[in-house]
Structure 1
Amino acid sequence: MNSLKTVLVVDDEPRTRDGVKKTLETDLSGAVRVITAGSAAEATRVLEEEQVHLLITDIRMPEITGLTLVEKAQAKGASPVVIIISGHAVFEYAHHAIRLGVFQYLLKPLEKRKLLETVEQALKLDQSRHRQQAMERMVDQTLLELQESGEGRIGEPVLKAMRYVESHLQAPLGLREVAEVVHLNASYFSFLFKEQTGLTFLEYVTRCKLQKAKELLLATALPIGEIAAQVGYLTPKYFIKLFKENTGLSPSQYRKQMSGDNGPI
């Protein structure tokens, strides 16, 4: 498992660029991998090819400013934590940096202790972002919203059906069977469920089963076939197909990615 964080240092001054690289590699050895770029164009190529966790960039460079580099990176979907370094305390730059969500604005000449403290804080922020993203990918937001608002807008028969589904995920869970549990006609139950939850009964069952599967994939070392059985799918092949259709990843890929190929979450 690779837990190294990639840091991109961008400065057209070789002395500053190499000095920051040496400081980080010496004092944060084993924690960071440092890449340098002498121009915004070079930095843009790196950002397109690498997953950069922390971007440290000079603000004044010949081609474009460091802030424009940040804007371009954000426009392309890259979201590293950003530290701006500059030889000038220019209010206009600082204001722009704040608007872009820049983590810190450091003045040259860089003081070693301050640089290291700031980088360590920035890496912690990146880690917390990673944790948050992992949680968002793990939790079905639609199910979460239903649970949070259910008591207020969902009637007792549908709530009872939802609770029944959650406690019988290993079962096939047919519409007629659950309608009988809540003492409703199957057609009326189907209409009522969709009206009150915004999901068809089958959609709700599938989301619950896949949510439980995600939890088992991350919390246990159970084989995929066993997890499929625990959430009510008789054949692993169908479970894998359904999981991929809903998450974009196979169960094995999901487990591997979410378990932290890019570091612990």
Structure 2
Amino acid sequence: MRSRTILIVDDEPRSREGMKKILGVWAAGQYEILTASNGGAALQILEETPIELMITDIRMPEISGLALVSQMRAKRIQRQPSVIFVSGHAQFEYAQEALRLSVVDYLLKPVGREKLIASVEGALKAGEEKEHLIFMRKTADPQLMAIRDEEAVLSEAVRQAMHYIETHIDEVISLQEVAGHVHLNGSYFSALFKEQCQINFSEYVTRRKLQKAKELLLKTNLPIAEIACRSGYQRVNYFNKLFKEYEGMSPGRYRSMRNGMEAQIQ
């Protein structure tokens, strides 16, 4: 189960509890709000609990907010939360360091309710998008990624063919059908596709369908048979065989292993 926790780090009790109260009402039970009065306590929490977002004061005794984030990055904590800095001092050097540490936002005290909530919502959204990209990169087919990276230099006909495959991924797709769609002779289209993509047409279609299947396996709880159907395979036994041939495991095992990896990342 994905942890949804926000950590507030501030040595000033009034500021710390004030932000906790505001976010507690806003979260309405969807997020757990934890607090720490110093950097040392915060690091311990970060090592023990997956944190989605950390809001920390910059100026604190012993371990400053800047040092806290630097140490957090150095420790390679598996779940690196998004970070918002708060400070009672509008110093340019702080803002510069915040940018270097990839901090999402920099707020000046006293932080108003609306400003705090807007910043938190923005940081959480940015964190989710980053995690999604990281995770999808881990599951993406390297050959499809290589083709996508070179998409700008592909001919219009090949790009149109890829778009057609994308929008008909749940159907049986033939070379002649796609060649007709882009108004090219089948033999010429086949040679053109292989020359530009370094992979033949049928191989590309298979890999793209299996990529779709992997996304459905990870993002949904749909039965394997339904995923096979949505990926354009009517016979689930054939889908299972093909999936195992390309991924080295059954669709069910892939789902359980990857979901386990996702839980570790988070």
TM-score, normalised to structure 2, is 0.64
Q: Distance in 1 between matches of 2:116 and 2:223?
A: 43
Q: Is the 8 A contact 1:8 1:37 kept in 2?
A: yes
Match of residue 50 from structure 2: 51
Describe how 1:91-170 pairs up with structure 2 within 5 A: 91-108=92-109, 110-111=110-111, 114-131=112-129, 133-134=131-132, 137=136, 143=144, 146=147, 152-153=153-154
Distance 1:252 1:240, change over 3 A: farther
The SS at the match of 2:33 is strand
Match of residue 80 from structure 1: 81
User: What amino acid is the match of 1:81?
Assistant: S
Question: CA offset at residue 224 of structure 1?
Answer: 0.5
CA shift digits 1:35-71 (9 cap, x unpaired)? 1122222212322333322211121223322012223
The answer to whether 1:182 aligns with 2:186 is: yes
Match of residue 234 from structure 1: 237
Distance 1:129 1:8, change over 3 A: closer
Q: Is the 8 A contact 1:228 1:235 kept in 2?
A: no
Distance 1:44 1:240, change over 3 A: farther
Q: Is the 8 A contact 2:58 2:87 kept in 1?
A: yes
Match of residue 40 from structure 1: 39
User: What amino acid is the match of 2:125?
Assistant: Q
CA shift digits 1:144-198 (9 cap, x unpaired)? 7746855844596x77986897768766989xxx9xx9338x9xx6x982x5214
Q: Distance in 1 between matches of 2:73 and 2:238?
A: 42
Q: Distance in 2 between matches of 1:7 and 1:251?
A: 28
Q: Distance in 1 between matches of 2:22 and 2:161?
A: 60
TM-score, normalised to structure 1, is 0.64
Higher relative contact order (CA 8 A, sep 6+): 1
* Identity across the alignment (%): 37
Match of residue 68 from structure 1: 67
Match of residue 197 from structure 1: 197
Structure 1 unaligned residues grouped into runs of 5+: none
The answer to whether 1:19 aligns with 2:18 is: yes
Match of residue 208 from structure 1: 208
Match of residue 225 from structure 1: 225
Distance 1:168 1:119, change over 3 A: closer
Structure 2 unaligned residues grouped into runs of 5+: 180-184
Question: CA offset at residue 245 of structure 1?
Answer: 6.3
How many residues end up aligned between the 2 structures?
A: 244
Question: CA offset at residue 97 of structure 1?
Answer: 1.5
Q: Is the 8 A contact 1:224 1:252 kept in 2?
A: no
The SS at the match of 1:51 is coil
Match of residue 89 from structure 1: 90
User: What amino acid is the match of 2:121?
Assistant: L
Q: Distance in 1 between matches of 2:114 and 2:89?
A: 20
